Amino acid sequence: MKQTTLDALLRVYVKLEETVEELNNLADDAVLSEDYEDASLLQSRADILYEQMENVSAE
pLDDT at residue 1, as a whole number: 84
Of 50, 5, 9, the residue nearest 27 (C-alpha): 50
Per-run averaged pLDDT (10 residues), the chain, 59 residues: 90 94 98 98 97 79
- Number of domains comprising the chain: 1
pLDDT at residue 55, as a whole number: 83
Cβ-contact 31, 53 below 8 angstroms: no
pLDDT at residue 58, as a whole number: 65
pLDDT at residue 14, as a whole number: 93
Which residues constitute the domain of residue 41?
3-58
pLDDT at residue 53, as a whole number: 86
The pTM of this model reads: 0.86
